Amino acid sequence: MTISLKPSNSPQEKLQPTGWLKYLSFSLDHKVIGLQYLVCGFLFYLIGGSLAAAIRVELISPLSDFMPREVYNQVLTLHGTIMIFLWIVPVVNGAFGNYLIPFYVGARDMAFPRLNAVAFWLIPPSGLMLITSYFINGAAQSGWTAYPPLSITTPAAGQIIWILSVLLLGGSSIFGGINFIATILKLRRPGLKLMQLPMYCWAMLGTSILVVLSTPVLAGTLILLSFDIVAHTGFFNPSLGGNVIVYQHLFWFYSHPAVYIMVLPAFGLVSEILPIHSRKPLFGYTTMVFSIMGIVVLGLVVWAHHMFTSGTPPWMRLFFTIATAFIAVPTGIKFFNWVATLWGGKISLNAAMLFSCGFIINFVLGGITGVALAQVPFDVHVHDTYFVVAHFHYIVYGGSVFVIFSSIYHWFPKFTGKMLNENLGRFHFIITFIGFNLCFAPQHWLGLNGMPRRVAEYDPQFQLINQISSLGALLMAISTLPFLWNIFQSILYGDDSGDNPWHALTPEWLTSSPPPVENWEGEAPLVLEPYGYGKKDSIETQEQIK
Amino acid sequence: MPKLSAILTLTSSLILGVGGVWIAYNVDMLPVSASMNAPVYDELYRVLFIIGCILFIGMTALVIYSLIQFRRKPGETGDGINLEGNISLEIFWTAVPAIVVLFVGLYSYDIYDRMGGMQPLMHDHGGQMDNQTERVWGGIGSGPIVSSSTKNSSSLPIELTAMQFAFIFHYPKENIISGELHVPVGREVSLKMESKDVIHAFWVPQFRLKQDVIPGQPTILNFTPTKAGNFPIVCAELCGPYHGGMRSNVIVDEQEDFDNWLKENSKESI
């Protein structure tokens, strides 16, 4: 088994456009593809965020008076679908995975560069298709869960386009997953063992296993659903003898692991960021690895906790309660290990660190409400209410999106060779953190007291709390402005960052910023201790590696 | 010094524990409880709330303390301590959450059992359930919540048909059809539910009960109201454009008033 570590001057590389045009091309460079994912994902985040703003405006008053009811359901469906499939999943996996994984394993690119580019280029057309479906007879309006029979009885065009688009995005996700598994397992630099890899590699390995095992089930389910809509088959249509509960089992078999597909990579990214800015080794590397794999295994057998009110037999409810609650154990280990990583460090409280610590606090709250929701008797009251809305926004926004911002602040110098403005970054964090908590914390109360989710009109007694929540949403929208200003300002006029502004030991920093095509001018460095902070010789080691 | 830090740790844990309990008993976020299983629910809620408060405040305090205590002072260079792990600490914080989670799981199993979740379905639904081939799924509270006061009175069978965008209640014995649910205080109600079109959900927040109403698959929900009054029935499953407007009321009457209501309405329907 020999792997060539010399730069390969293949003709394709020479044909790639240079300059900013390369970001619009079918580039095979993993770094270009990573940034394509990131920028594309962020554009969809702005669209999904505008839809969220529309929802919060509608909910300022208890009447359905801002937009037609059908449009409201389309907006909430698109908001969920865009945020999950076009923003969080592609960015925490595709963007940072593509950019970082080849560096971490000491490779010059991903295992399958063409498959990688195909996986990215499936995303913009399917995203545009999804959004334009609004102008063709209306977008899908049965929620991102698309439960039949509602998804069979609502206008077919929008629902079919939704299915096609999610199928393409699922395909993109599977291509990416296969590529990550192959790269991490087969493209490691000789001499580098699995247990010496940075933690993000383990997170991506676990996530990719989940992607490859569960996404095909979603694809199969949606194809059957499209048969029910187009060919009037009766898989899930009760009036033709179908069973609507079967759809829910199949759907959640993917969509619960999808939560881990959104948060496990985020866990990995935080595990890279915390040690660098607190100048300490990652605490408990081995337990971190086992807890990731524990989450992967448990994550596959908990799906029916989304169905406690659907009509499931008692033994099944009990099994899924216990299994779900036990996910708290490996997750808890990770959180304690992160706090232990901070303990005794020399912490720089920059924007990257603030967002990571904000993530820890938000996610702990989301995790606690998650364990509560896993308890059948608790869930039957708050299932399908704003309590659940609050819970999963604490997981996916307070968790994953905070980590995405943290990662952008952390790796921006690597991407561009420029520093971001730290004060503007801290300002961005403060507004985001306050706005986020103001928006979602009160929703716990709304759910407990009787406000169901996905409604355009509600009991007038909930108006004040909804207005507070909408105010929080306004702050979240405003918080995007200093961030965007910071990015554009820094790309144009930012200070030079040098190659390694954080004095980090992980391999992506041991090359120039931004890195050259194929990552290193010479041979790839062999980094056996990516978290070797605090050793007397760590700085010298770093110099030697260079 | 180790002594001092041990005392400090112990004191702060104690304050945290007492504070968690205090918050859980003084911050009441639940609506009125109006059914027999609502107090049981509230008990579980309180226990979860205590554990949640302790964990959340504890973790937040640890993070904020670390950020302040271990921040880089101006002009300081160098790294933190080279500490890569601590096996006994890691075993400790694997074991403690495992025990807490196991306790919560077993406790909520007990609560579930007390709500009647584990009992087999009653098969005396107003004589409607003789057909044994019919599969009926029960929601939580599907089994009878037996107590000495309700032991002698049989349950009141009511049929619920949900459709876009209304709940229709049918009293089979008196042949009354109503858009609102009228039930007497203190008697168990057995609600047999089926949907005509898409999935809906029957939810009464004050009863702490919810069960999906599914097309092609009847479900049963049993409950015993304990408080007279007027409570909202809310559809909790996205069912179409007017989902938010799909609401009704459950009117819990004293037995006498309920009998009068039955009499009046059955006369009209004849």
A6 pLDDT higher than 60:
no
pLDDT tens-digit map of A170-184: 999 999 999 999 999
Within 8 A of B29 by CB-CB distance, chain A residues are 444-445, 448-449
- Average pLDDT of the residues in B60-73: 92
Do the Cβ atoms of A286 and B198 come within 8 Å?
Answer: no
Instruction: Give first-to-last CA distance, chain B, whole Å.
Output: 87
Q: What is the ipTM of this complex?
A: 0.90
Q: What pLDDT is stored for residue B46 in this prediction?
A: 92
Q: Which among B50, B70, B91 is the top mutation candidate for probing chain A, defined by the most A β-carbons within 10 Å of its own β-carbon?
A: B70
Within 8 A of A141 by CB-CB distance, chain B residues are 241
Q: What pLDDT is stored for residue B120 in this prediction?
A: 56
Helices assigned H by DSSP within B27-79: 38-69
The letter for the amino acid at A508 is E
Residue B202's φ and ψ, nearest 5 degrees, are -95, 120
- Average pLDDT of the residues in A392-396: 96
A544 pLDDT higher than 80:
no
- Average pLDDT of the residues in B1-6: 75
The band of A535, judged by pLDDT with boundaries at 50, 70 and 90, is confident
Question: Does residue A546 or residue A500 have the better pLDDT?
Answer: A500
DSSP H helix total and E strand total for chain A: 21, 0
Within 8 A of A332 by CB-CB distance, chain B residues are 93-94, 97
Q: What pLDDT is stored for residue B85 in this prediction?
A: 86
- Is residue A409 within 8 A of residue A463, CB to CB? The reply is no
- Average pLDDT of the residues in B181-194: 92
- Average pLDDT of the residues in A136-160: 92
> In the block, which residue shows the tokens 């042949």?
B175
Q: What pLDDT is stored for residue B139 in this prediction?
A: 62
- Average pLDDT of the residues in A359-371: 95
The band of B136, judged by pLDDT with boundaries at 50, 70 and 90, is low
Do the Cβ atoms of A345 and B80 come within 8 Å?
Answer: yes
Tokens of residue B119, six digits: 């009992």
Do the Cβ atoms of B72 and A346 come within 8 Å?
Answer: yes
B141 pLDDT higher than 70:
no
B24 pLDDT higher than 90:
no
Nearest CA of chain B to the CA of A404: how many Å?
A: 20
What average pLDDT does the structure give for chain A?
A: 92
Q: What percent of chain A has pLDDT over 70?
A: 95
Do the Cβ atoms of A364 and B60 come within 8 Å?
Answer: yes
Within 8 A of A68 by CB-CB distance, chain B residues are 241
Beta-carbon count within 10 A of A191 CB: 9
Q: Which among B107, B192, B198 is the top mutation candidate for probing chain A, defined by the most A β-carbons within 10 Å of its own β-carbon?
A: B198
Q: In what order do the strands lie in the sheet with B137-138?
A: B137-138, B219-223, B189-195, B156-163, B166-171, B176-178
